[in-house]
Amino acid sequence: MTTIGEVGEFNTMALSPDGTAVAAERVDSLTRNSDLWVFRAGGGSMRLTFDASRQTSPVWSADGRRVVFNSDRGGQHGVYEKATSGAGGEQLLFQSKETMTPSTWTSDSKYLLGYNTLGEGHLWMLGSGSQTPVPLFTSQFNEVGARLSYDNRWGSRTDRTSREVRDLCEAV
């Protein structure tokens, strides 16, 4: 194991699909805000976001070309998308009064799954081109952390209260 970046305070992070890079939330020690950085195996890093608010929970697209993340800009929570090459601006996918945290893409990157983190957690799904997430599961459980297998055949969700995997089911 080797160090691939400077020492610092990091929170959420995600490994790229090909295993050669990490997208990470790096916290500024002075402002306590955070931005996303990409650290590549073998050296090299690049700052992806430059907003004065907090950027969290990066999730790579299946092809590794895009990252989605949560940000609380201007008093509104939003899910944004950014090219991992650093090219272009950030695209707002949708806004919400609640913190909506992305969790996983389907393997074809047509659907993004996530969960809200205020109050009772519930899972949501956002289709490509849509600006409105729809509930995926609504139950008595405080659900977070939706995950799908690489072939989209299996899915799981976690109960935030007990930290136990609630379901391991065949996806349809």
What are the CA-CA distances from residue 164 to residues 24, 101, 153, 159 (Å)? Answer: 25, 19, 21, 6
Domain spans, the chain: 9-97
65-122 pLDDT, tens digit each:
999 999 988 888 899 999 999 999 999 999 988 888 888 888 888 888 888 866 556 7
User: Which residue stretches of the chain are H helix?
Assistant: none
CB atoms within 10 A of CB 18: 10
Measured distance CA(166)–CA(160) in Å, rounded: 9
- Counts for the chain of helices (H) and strands (E), in that order: 0, 15
The pLDDT value given to residue 170:
47
With tokens 């806004």, the residue in question is: 95
Task: Provide the sign of the torsion angle of the four alpha carbons 158, 163, 167, 170, taken in this order.
Answer: positive
d(CA 119, CA 15): 28
H/E segment holding residue 81: strand 76-83
pLDDT per residue over 4-53, tens digit each? 556 777 888 899 999 999 999 998 888 888 999 999 988 889 999 999 88
Question: What is the predicted pLDDT for the residue at 1?
Answer: 46
Paired tokens of 63: 């092809």
Report the percent of the chain where pLDDT is more than 70: 72
| Predicted model pTM | 0.82
